[in-house]
Amino acid sequence: MAGEKSFKYVIVGGGVSAGYAAREFAKQGVQPGELAIISKEAVAPYERPALSKAYLFPEGAARLPGFHVCVGSGGEKLLPEWYTEKGIELILNTEIVKADLASKSLTSAAGDTFKYKILIIATGSTVLKLTDFKVEGADAKNILYLREIDDADQLVEAIKAKKNGKAVVVGGGYIGLELSAVLKINNFDVKMVYPEPWCMPRLFTADIAAFYEGYYEKKGVGIIKGTVASGFTKNDNGEVKEVKLKDGRVLEADIVVVGVGARPLTNLFKGQVEEDKGGIKTDASFKTSVPDVYAVGDVATFPMKMYGDIRRVEHVDHSRKSAEQAVKAIFASEQGKDIEPYDYLPYFYSRSFDLSWQFYGDNVGDAVIFGDHDPASAKAKFGSYWIKDGKVVGAFLEGGAPEENQAIAKVARAQPAATSLDALAKEGLEFASKI
């Protein structure tokens, strides 16, 4: 028999944002029974970045409960019992299939109804699948994606089953780079395929990408650029056997991992709430166009105070901070107060092999590279600045110490004047340490 439950606050989605929002609700003094988190996943919120890194290591792999939120930002682990202690209802394995914002109700696949006074939309993104593009043979077994812990478990099983086999990674972004590294560490023969002229094209310049591509090739990862997977063949068990490339080449594969992007999960709210740039439009407190409805993380298109425009940001750092901002705003408005508008400094990072980079700010204008960016170096350390209208607007650093990473963050926030690219290239990190 389908039931109905009512809460003062409901968070729909059980990812990183939901976990950080829950912690902020507890800080703000939420009362037992007031808050529910509804998640289609089977586990309490966890730090998603672990899935493409330590979760897949051959030894000493990360496992739950080790990476529940909020360990990713140095906070305490919120284990399932934490939610119980705080009187927060964690409703797992529950997919919401209908949202009626006018009547403030959500309906699950099982037909249960959840009523709320205030809703936080934290549905995140879903991966783009090759089956969505009708790619021939894309439904073969062992063509895998990575978004949730179930996906990571499938990948772990495939790595064990196809020990020391051949892997093809489709895509040259975050997932492509991080998974190529981790599959190589698992002793796979790895080929990486992407259509662009270099890896991570949305962030990297050709100079930065040349270092990573050289480094990966030195580690034994084969890189094939300028083409895409146009089809797959299967063996008698329905498992992937070969990847057919558009340029006519054919690659053998025991496992294929696809990372070709994601799209925000906004379809439940289509036509009920104002959208922009593929996301749900919000103000600087993450309020949407509908009263009592907030949107955070990947799904929110929000005002970027620093740059005077509106953006949608897909990154764990923003997922955490936007969730905290929304909850603070909810409690402030209940007390008739305002809070400081969200003033976000874009931040991205990645770790693979023994590399680790951080980027802050905006990658627009002219870029200059500094430091040792030879892939053959024993310990390469280099960075890049972006200059627009005579100001440094973005900064990137590979192999930085914590205080050096803080220095480049300061540069991106302060946007200091810079006269010439040549001078910046010579000064390198010195420039940042003076800000």
Which tokens go with 391?
Answer: 């100001």
Report, as an integer, the average pLDDT of 170-198. 97
Looking at residue 419, what is its pLDDT? Answer: 82
Query: C-alpha distances in angstroms, 122 versus 278, 294, 318, 320, 323?
Result: 15, 9, 12, 11, 8
pLDDT digits (tens, 9 = 90+) for 215-236: 999 999 999 999 999 999 999 9
**Phi and psi at residue 339, to the nearest 5°:** -120, 165
Integer Cα distance of 207 and 215 in angstroms: 13
pLDDT digits (tens, 9 = 90+) for 86-106: 999 999 999 999 999 999 999
Given a cut of 90, whether residue 258 has pLDDT beyond it is yes
- Mention every residue, 6+ apart, whose C-beta is less than 8 A from residue 167: 183, 188, 189, 190, 191, 253, 254, 255, 256, 257
Strands 143-144 and 309-312: unpaired
Which tokens go with 79?
Answer: 């284990």
Given a cut of 80, whether residue 362 has pLDDT beyond it is yes
Q: In this structure, how many other beta carbons lie within 10 angstroms of the beta carbon of residue 97?
A: 12
Looking at residue 2, what is its pLDDT? Answer: 75
User: Which runs of consecutive H residues, i.e. helices, occur in 284-428?
Assistant: 316-334, 402-414, 421-427
Domains along the chain with CATH numbers: 4-126+263-334 (3.50.50.60), 130-260 (3.50.50.60), 354-433 (3.30.390.30)
Q: 64, 276, 45, 21: which is closest to 156 by C-alpha?
A: 64
Q: 355, 338, 135: which is closest to 233 by C-alpha?
A: 135
pLDDT band at 1 (very low <50, low <70, confident <90, very high): low
User: Which runs of consecutive H residues, i.e. helices, occur in 162-252?
Assistant: 174-185, 206-218
pLDDT digits (tens, 9 = 90+) for 42-67: 999 999 999 999 999 999 999 999 99
